Amino acid sequence: YEADPNVKMVVLLGEVGGVEEYHVCKMMRDKKLTKPLVAWCIGTCSDMFTSEVQFGHAGSLAGSALEKAAAKNAALAAHGAVVPDSFDTLGGAINKVYKKLVSEGKIIVKEEIEPPKVPMDYDWARVSTLIKVKGKQSLHF
């Protein structure tokens, strides 16, 4: 994303467990990631539990204090990322960075265009036998 001139900012959604977010901190420190970064690591509530709690689709959990979401959020903020106060304010943080980039002229707002119309309604095409469904695979004519 750093080399793509069309990418103006990066949004990172991390999680409790693992250390990948610290690799991003190192990239920021080493100036390999210079674009604005808005970041949030989920699982900050894990400190409220007396035992380890698993989060996310992979059942992530912190194996050390370094792997806790709060520690990762603090590290990302210390390296220059915009880290909101909570997941609920992530959208607002993204919007704030976006508006700043617009005001600096780094993002040129373009008029929204109407998306192209789908050539035909799927249900109608299926009923009219333009599309035949056999098992799990659709056959298109």
Domain annotation for the chain: domains and CATH numbers: 10-103 (3.40.50.261)
22-16-31 Cα angle (round to 5): 20
Rounded to whole angstroms, the Cα distance separating 89 from 73 reads 14
How far is Cα 113 from Cα 111, in angstroms, rounded to an integer?
A: 6
Q: Which residue has the higher pLDDT, 66 or 33?
A: 33
What's the chain's average pLDDT? 86
For residues 105-112, average pLDDT: 94
Higher pLDDT, 18 or 133: 18
- Which one is predicted more confidently, 141 or 104? 104
pLDDT at site 11: 98
* Per-residue pLDDT at 30: 98
Instruction: Please report how many Cα atoms fall inside a 13 Å half-sphere around the Cα of residue 136, on the Cβ side.
Output: 0
| Known active-site residue 140 | no
* Predicted local confidence at residue 78, as pLDDT: 98
pLDDT band at 17 (very low <50, low <70, confident <90, very high): confident
Q: What is the pLDDT of residues 51-75, one digit of tens each?
A: 666 665 555 555 677 888 999 999 9
Residue (of 13, 14, 17) closest to 65 by Cα position:
17
Size (the chain), residues:
141
- Catalytic: which of 23, 57, 79, 140? 57
How far apart, in whole angstroms, are the C-alpha atoms of residue 44 and residue 15?
9
Residue range 30-52: average pLDDT?
Answer: 86
